Each structure stands twice: as C-alpha cells, then as structure tokens.
Amino acid sequence: MNKKIFKVCFDMKLDKTISIKKSKKNKCEMLDGNITFFSNEEDFLLIGIELSKHIGIDNYNVNLDSNYLFETETNDLNSNFLSFGDKVKKLYEGLMLGSWKYSGHKTMNNEDSEASLDKSNLAKSGLMEINLSFDLEKSLLEFNNSNTNEFNQTLRDAIYEMNLNPELKKNYLKECLEKITYEIDEVRKICECTNFARELVEMPSNFLTPSIFAEKAKKIEKESENKKLKITIIEEVSGGILEVSKGSLEKPKLIVCEYYGGEGEILGLVGKGVTFDSGGLSLKPAKSMEDMKTDMAGAANVLSIMKLLSDTNSKKNVVAVMPCVENMPSGSALKPGDVISAMSGQTIEVLNTDAEGRLILCDALWYIQEKLNAKTVIDFATLTGSVVVGLGELFAGLFSNDDFLSESLIKSGKRKSEFLCRLPLHKNYDKLIDSDIADMCNIQKPGSGAGSITAAQFLQRFVKKDTKWAHIDIAGTAYTSHKSMINLRKSTGFGVRLMFDFIQNI
C-alpha cells in the first residue's frame, strides 16, 4: 500500500508539473513526467539536476507525494521534518546548478540561443519561491489504515496530537518552515556564487582581462549590502607577477579582498588568475591554447567565495589575494633562462615560461602572510597537467603541510561531491627544483616526473614554517571535457561549495 505521510508541494514558478514518486530502484530517471529514484539525501541533488534538463521557465511545480519524511530511526517529529528539509535543499541545489548555462555571446535571433539564455536566467533570478502544504488529517487516516509494525507508535501519537491541537500544529509548522526557508535561501546564495565562478571561467579572455576581472571584483564590493567586505586593487606590482605579465599589453592586477566577520584566526585564500595563458615564449601548441581562458579558475573560485561570505553575512575572518595576469609572447616577454626575484626576495631560474602560475602564486602566498597576517592559507590553481594525468577530472590534487587541515578539506569535499586526493610533499622532491645559479628553478629536472608534486614543493618554499597551508590543484576539475551527473557543463565551479562548507565548520 502506498502510505502518503505528508503531501508536499514545491511551487517553483516554472511552466509544468512533474510528480516525483518513491521507487526502490537505485537510480534517477524521468518516465512520462515522473521521476523514479532511490531516496537517500544525495540523490535529491541528482534529481534536481535531472529535472533541470527538462524544465521550462514559467509556472513550474514539483510535487512530492511520498513517504520520505519518517524514514529515520528517531522518534522526534521535528528531526524527521528537518531531515526532509535537507532533501528539499538538495533538490533546490540540483535545480540551480543543473539549469545554469553560459551563452552570453549568443544572438537572440537564434531560437536555441534564446532558450539557452532563458535557462541561464533561471539560475540567476532567484529561481523559485517554495510553498509547502501539508495534509496531516489525510496522513493520519492513512496511518490508521497502514501496518502499525512499519511505523513508530510514538510518531503516530505525535501526529495525532498535532491534529487535535490546531495551535500546536500551527506553531510547529511555522517554526520548521522558517528554518527550512532560511536554509534554502542560503543554498540559493551558494549556488548563485558557484554559478558566478562558472560564468567567469567560461568568459572569453577578451571579455575578462586582468583589468576587467578587477572591475568585477570592485563591483561586488560596491553592490554588497555587507560593508564588512573590502576589496583593493594593487596595480604597482613586482616579483613574479610583474615578470610574467611583461609580454602582454594588459597590465597585471593584484586583487586583495578582506572580510572580517567576527573574532578568531584569519584564514587566507589565494587564487591563480592567469586570464589567458599562451605559454609565453615557451609557446603552447595551438590545440592546447584553446581553453586557456580558463587558467584563472582559481581566482574565480576565490572571488566567488568572498562574495558568498559577504552575501551570507559570515562570522568568519577571511582574506584573499588573486594575482591576475596574461602570459603572452613578445619582444619584452620573460625568457627561458632568465633569473627573477620574487616578492619574498628569493631568486628563481625560469627554465620554462609556461610554468608561470607558480611564479605569481608564490608572490600571493608571501603577500597574504606578510601583509594580511593569515595563519592558515589555502590556494586554488589550475596549476599542472600532471595532476590530470594522475587523477583525471573527478578528484583535485591536495597538498598540505598539516594533517588536520587536509582531513577537514577532504571531509568537506565528500559532503559536497567535490573530491580531493591528498598527494605527497617530501623534502627529497626539493632536489628536483634546485638551481645551480639561483635559489630554485620553476620546473623540475628533465625526465624526473612528479610535475604536480614539484610544483607544490616550489610553492611550499614560500610558506612560513608556522603557517598551515594547503594547495589544491584544480587543473582537471575546474573545466571538464566530459559531462557527469554532477556537472552538466564544462565549467564546474569546483571548490566554491567545498570551501564554503569548510569555512562554516572551522
């Protein structure tokens, strides 16, 4: 017998109704307007993503008519209801992430492009208002007609009491709905900022130069209702940031964000912002250059995270540094064999100008420790092709000098389906980047392999001994070649949801 405990309607202001029903099948699929699925919480994220493939834009309803609510071991009615609320949030999150699509340069003359733009707007416009309605009396009747062995008597008594006491029912529903509504609003903000990061990564490099990136950062500060967020653009730069940018007509920018939401230690975030990477004089092959507009995904993540902290009025203290440059060849460009000085004063023999990301990250790491007093620092960078060879597009590479920090990041990644794999740091790898004429080389010795590890070893030389540090190489996960159940688009925003979860739990 189909036992309908609560009838719950989510009104999302779209254009059709789809019923979601319980199935024992461990999958999510659409059959004649119905979704069948296995009802654990994470599946609701996949359901939302699946629904996003089929939806239109106006007056859309999703009706859940099922018995998910009380499928837990607890007798507490409130806990059961809020557990269901967690599934609602996952559904909402999936709809927002799945419906996003970048098509900012399509003309409106094309019907397909118009539909794409409409669908893109779905994720940018507050998506939906959610109304929940409950038929407790009908639920009670169906409880009485059901097999009592399958239900907890305490729970049955609680529902019966609520039906006898209208005021209790009213207050209970009001309290639970207020909590779920607040949390859904937070999910909306998380998804909007994730999609903002995805949009930045998708933008062509002529529409997102270092200067334009800086303008977008200042716009976030200007439009934010939260005055705790401060963004500074530093144009007079030195060190590796200046050296990498010398081949381009575009001037480098060092974007500094500060958000102080309360008391406590300062967390520092660093994001690589190479808005286009030609490889410099160590020129990339033409095919390898096509997607190099995405080499600023680390900076896109970090800026989006700072926006999210402001939007949610976080109580944490977080600072961020994003070095933004173009890496281009010209008569004034950095040359293989040059020796440069980083902001820290350490010297670097540049053997390959296509290993430029670490040359700007090392300055950002120094700056965030020396100028902003961050004691824990996490950097995001599309740094090496080697990490893609080792881990593919599902896991990002994680390097850290602190076990607890590493474990916390991995746990946050699991909760958000943004997976991290910890890779080693070891002093013996340092020998591979030693230089005969400078403090270090910017690439490892030929034939030694371990490209992602030696890149992390390079960065570690700019981390103070008392600083907790993690480096996340998102070269494989930020912009993927294949669609997955979680990511329907090339640009993923990988790391935004993970990092917000981490920050909330520190």
Average pLDDT per 10 consecutive residues for the chain, totaling 506 residues? 34 40 41 43 73 52 42 51 70 80 73 42 40 46 50 55 68 70 85 95 97 98 96 98 99 99 95 99 97 98 99 98 99 99 99 99 99 98 98 97 99 95 97 98 95 98 99 97 71 97 96
How many Å apart are CA 37 and CA 47, to the nearest integer? 8
How many Å apart are CA 490 and CA 476, to the nearest integer? 11
In the sheet that 339-341 helps form, which strands lie side by side, from edge to edge? Answer: 339-341, 347-349, 440-441
The model's pTM is: 0.84
Q: If you count DSSP H runs as helices and E runs as strands, how many of each does the chain have, helices first? A: 16, 17
User: Structure tokens of 313?
Assistant: 């009025």
pLDDT at 132: 43
What DSSP assignment string belongs to 287-352? Answer: HHHTTGGGTTHHHHHHHHHHHHHHHTT-SSEEEEEEEEEEE--STTS--TT-EEE-TTS-EEE-S-
CA-atom Rg of the chain in angstroms:
25
Question: How confident is the prediction for the chain on average, in pLDDT?
Answer: 81
How many Å apart are CA 213 and CA 77, to the nearest integer? 49
Domains of the chain and CATH, by start: 6-185 (no CATH), 203-237+256-327+360-504 (3.40.630.10)
pLDDT at 88: 73
pLDDT at 46: 76
Strands 339-341 and 347-349: what pairing? antiparallel
Among 416, 422, 417, smallest CA distance to 503 is for 416
Burial-class residue 97 by CB neighbours within 10 Å (0-12, 13-18, 19+).
buried
How many Å apart are CA 381 and CA 401, to the nearest integer? 17
Q: Please report, for residues 149, 271, 357, 397, 456, the alpha-carbon distance to residue 383 in angstroms, rounded to integers and kept in the order given.
A: 57, 11, 6, 10, 9
Give the number of C-alpha atoms closer than 13 A to the C-alpha of residue 453, restricted to the C-beta side. 17
Q: Please report, for residues 94, 205, 279, the alpha-carbon distance to residue 11 in angstroms, rounded to integers and kept in the order given.
A: 16, 39, 50
Q: What residues have CB less than 8 Å from 443, skipping those under 6 apart? A: 351, 352, 355, 433, 451, 454
User: Structure tokens of 458?
Assistant: 């390079």
Q: Please report, for residues 2, 5, 151, 165, the alpha-carbon distance to residue 140 in angstroms, rounded to integers and kept in the order given.
A: 14, 8, 12, 14
pLDDT at 93: 84
Supply the residues annotated as catalytic: 284, 358
pLDDT at 502: 98
What sign has the CA pseudo-torsion 176, 178, 180, 183?
negative
